[in-house]
Structure 1
């Protein structure tokens, strides 16, 4: 079956970036890198391409396609703010799923759009996946292995639906398989459109991320890492947060440049906290809400799950009322469509040392733009690993719970990225 040709970058010209990428630091020192980067002028983005498809998957894809896009429906409108997910499993694969409520304070002089007026905070529901401890989780001296990495997972759902059954199972599998590596997983129930579009959700999630990184730093023995992971719409949210974080980190470093950090204890701790974020991992994210890539039409013929009209509708609900001062369509704002990010934003991301990993299948209407984003990461010298699977469907690691080869391979790929982060 024919698959779309590699996407062509159709974004504004970016400045050539040939300098050696700088890195972030896990301690207060401004000159000690977290990650070792090659000094050679070569791509830091490694791309793996696969073309093998199992017979079972080929049959499944054929059977699914007549029902699209009914397989993706948004039957319920969720209230504003973080939805509490009461209809969820209490455990999966022996992993206990525990609900937790986080109170996120409004940043100074920037009240959150949907914050409680009395407390100036907004609630976020998160779900901890607590994997059982095993012999592998104990060091030779008998001490329990400490958590060294926390994954915050953002589930896809067209920005309008929370985690599905497949999401709970995937997260439980990740938590179980990675627990021996000192990894824990937390699913974030982020606010959904149309009641909480991007203009309300993103400021809230930025404030939450600052809080999460601060807590990680306070609870750390020195090596605590934070990883943001998301699929589909959740992947878009993760990328948006990553660019915002990189710009905040760059601004903070400029502010502290040349200062004695021993005399800047508050800012020094803030820098330490910000540098806890080490990588993002995304699956089939939408990266350009304009949906104008010429190759989308061909991908639409192959996609067994979604349609171009469906993704157009999801983009419209998420970008609704996004503030634009120049009269342009909100879908063209780089904060929402990362393919359109500025050279300055890419520079901040590169110099942060953050790793950006991703995967996508080409039988997906989001694939052409996702490949543009991948190519931009490669061009802009962003460190990361990418998997492009020709003929594969949207967010294929989610089908690991059904035993498909492609789901198992995608799941294993995710685990490797976490372990290597």
Structure 2
């Protein structure tokens, strides 16, 4: 029998600022009810992707918002966003570069909502060059293959950043948030090991409703389970098993909550994010924020009661809380680019 205890929440500390919100509009509530009915269809996996980075088709809705150019680095397809009225070489000269890893259970391609979020970043954050990364997906590219490949990509990011004097933001939602955090840990640790001189190429990380612990052992998951409109314990356990490949679920290369998070403080990397408290991933995300605080890592987190997994992605549908969540993310990233 499950004991329904109040789920944990994160609180502001000396280094972590938490924006805790509680409202939920009638429209938001209605959308969650509809999503719950169709969640099994929404989450149904398509045909397995072949090994390697999938070449993506840009949705027409995103093309209307921005110019999007496909390119490859280390055999991974990336998609660079720029405003239609910008010179084509303009993004390459920007000091701040954002690389976005879309969620999808480590097995699904970016959805239209992911493309539109990147387009929104491009339109509202002119100081950033925005890139969507098409990373290799399970089952044919499980974690031990995909993450190793992404780490090779990071070496190119780092080399270019040092040569150009640019800074990197790693961002993503859900599975992509997990990858952004893991790559941030890899990059921050590499910076320290290489000497730690100067500033780390990584400026910050933005993790939207990230998966941070693939063991899925937190007892509060069962408290949230009946409240979550789209995910469940069963779903996240299946996703973790399908992704891990040759690694253990307790491997810090899979579960960032188990890594040494002090590397962020030592490298001067700020870690920001969003937590939806009606999301089965939220109990571990809250614990992750607590561990960041214990390591004196700086960051800002939006924590919203009664919100579903990755709710800011719904902004293009006009949902009030989703728009507010998206705006919160944009404002934090703007501040990051302006900090000395």
1:245 equivalenced with 2:187 (yes/no): yes
Query: Which residue of the partner structure matches residue 17 of structure 2?
Result: 46
| Structure 2 counterparts to residues 100-115 of structure 1, below 5 A | 100-102=71-73, 104=74
**What is the rounded CA distance, in whole Å, between the counterparts of 2:139 and 2:91 in structure 1?**
44
For structure 1, list consecutive stretches of 5 or more residues without a partner in the other structure.
9-41, 105-122, 135-142, 255-270, 323-329
Distance 1:144 1:253, change over 3 A: closer
Candidates 299, 317, 324, aligned match of 2:242: 317
Matched, 1:191 2:162: no
Please name the residue that 1:301 is paired with: 226
Q: Distance in 1 between matches of 2:14 and 2:55?
A: 42
Whole-angstrom distance in 1 between the partners of 2:284 and 2:155: 29
User: 1:188-210 deviations in whole A, cap 9, x for unaligned?
Assistant: 00000111111011111111111
How does the TM-score come out when normalised to structure 2?
0.91
Could you say which structure has the higher helix fraction?
A: 2
Q: What secondary structure, in the 3-state scheme, does the structure 1 residue paired with 2:100 have?
A: strand
* Residue of structure 2 in register with 1:365 after alignment: 280
Alignment gaps of 5+ in structure 2: none
1:145 and 1:316 mapped to 2: Cα distance? 38
Partner Cα distance (1:79, 1:3) in 2: 43
Mark the CA change 1:190 to 1:311 in structure 2 (over 3 Å): closer, same or farther. Answer: same
Distance in 1 between residues matched to 2:64 and 2:204, nearest whole Å? 26
For the residues of structure 1 that align with 2:320 and 2:61, how far apart are their CA atoms? 27
* Residue number among 168, 177, 197 corresponding to 2:124 in the alignment: 177
What is the CA–CA distance in structure 2 between the aligned matches of 1:318 and 1:406, rounded to whole Å? 31
Contact 2:209–2:309 (CA<8 Å) still a contact in 1?
Answer: yes
**1:286-345 Cα distance to aligned partner (Å, 9 max, x none):** 1111111111112111111112111111101111212xxxxxxx111122112222xxx2
Partner of 2:81: 129
1:348 equivalenced with 2:263 (yes/no): yes
Shift, 1:156, TM fit: 0.2
Distance 2:91 2:137 in 1: 38
Within the alignment, does 1:71 sit opposite 2:42 as a pair? Answer: yes
1:197-212 to structure 2, matched below 5 A, reads: 197-212=142-157
Higher-Rg member (1/2): 1
Change (3 A) 1:171 1:247: same
Q: Under a length normalisation based on structure 1, what TM-score does the superposition of the two structures give?
A: 0.74
SS in 2 for 1:332: coil
